[in-house]
Structure 1
Amino acid sequence: MKVALFIPCYVDAFFPEVGIATLELLERFGVEVDYPLDQTCCGQPMGNSGCHADAAGTERLFARNFAGYDHIVTPSGSCAHHVRDHLTAIEQTAAVQQVRRDTHELVEFLHDVLQVRDFPWAEFPHKVGLHIGCATLRGLRQAKASEIDEPFFSKPMALLSKVKGIEFVKPERPDECCGFGGTFSVFEEPVSAKMGVDKVTDHHRAGAQYIVSPDMSCVMHQKGCAERLGLDLRFIHIAQVLNGARE
């Protein structure tokens, strides 16, 4: 199995520890991981901003970097969703279609492809609020959305439930958007900030000590909101918890 690791721009710039945890976690399960050194952005920010055609150069480079791998794994649901569903500014060759089809967010790769059911090294003795970003929830369908009448399921929760000591707490509106929304948080800053305040307040009221998420962009937004409110909340990516982080 040839697996390439795709680390999104903001993770590389602001949260390199998440990329390291992702690599270490994959290697714990015997996955041989390659990291294409020429990788840059997948084009999602331009797509979010309506500049679809302007993303062509970035998309072309992405497809060239990751062609030929059996799987491309990334610790970002929104980036995986963009590649799978919106990498369309370039010609849809067989190689491009393969890259799109074989790109996975970390949780779904562990849950669906590797079918991991145990993390014997992991222990996280804290009360946890789980946040699944909109693209991950509704685009990648990693959990039940509240507006859909179907049996409950949650791939992130299924993995985290195998971690010793973890205790889940549930906010009143568990799958409500936190307001980040990529470039939405720049163009609609007041609305975005209010949504973020509502989100972290909901988690804090439920008794969460940590917010755990497969979406570090949402975590970045919520962390800023919590700090401005003075809330005693901490934030961590799911890769770090599954890899054995205790705090």
Structure 2
Amino acid sequence: MAVSPQLAHEPYVRRLIREIQLSQFSEEPETIFFGGGTPSIIDGVWIQKILAAFPKGAEEISLEANPGTLDQAKLECYAGAGINRISLGAQSFHDEDLKNAGRLHNSADVFRDIELLRKHGFNNINIDLIAGLPNQQFDVWRQNLANIEHIRPEHVSIYMLDVEDRSVWGRRESGIPDDLSPRFYMEAAERLSRAGYIHYEISNWALPGFECRHNLKYWTDVPYRGFGVSAHSFSRSAGPALKRFWNTTSL
């Protein structure tokens, strides 16, 4: 018997909504962030229902999306629900990079989704790039940065590839010399600075006024709540004591 992917998500999403509804909020959240994982894979109506479970008033609501998972109906739902920041996990604008990384999308998906986001009025877009993907060439990396300069997303996140020893990638050669990865990072820092981006956190650059408020809360020890499987939370008890706790990793 075939099962619709949306129906497969429904029991989990309903329990997630219930978890939020049972939580006691001492004040309205200032920011909400959907991710990691791929929240854009589920129907936009469910995203609306999840957001409806929160107290109103969040000024920044971000959602992570993989290229190829967005469409007009979802973006209309996002906008209607108050989502005003999209983080697109492009990783690279080069098809060979994406293939080597085992990604399901291609560069055409990335460009299409950026155009779609702009068409629907999203004016706070983050692009994720990964430096040091398997066999990634420096010239290709420079072209990735040229694409950023042309597209001018409001925010750019650049992460160095970090491979676990026991992972699939950890058991094979990356094809990137150890001394080249820092060059990727430095090239990005220099190019983005010249393009007007502020390097406000080790992996993050933003045009003035578009720093991710949610990310900054992590760096300044502001309490936050996580919801869903494996979600982590952080609270500040009376006095200097800090408390970290997390949800179950499996259902």
TM-score class, shorter-chain normalisation, is 0.3 to 0.5
Q: Which has the higher strand share?
A: 2
Question: Higher RCO, 1 or 2 (CA under 8 Å, sep at least 6)?
Answer: 1
Between structure 1 and structure 2, the one with the greater Rg is: 2
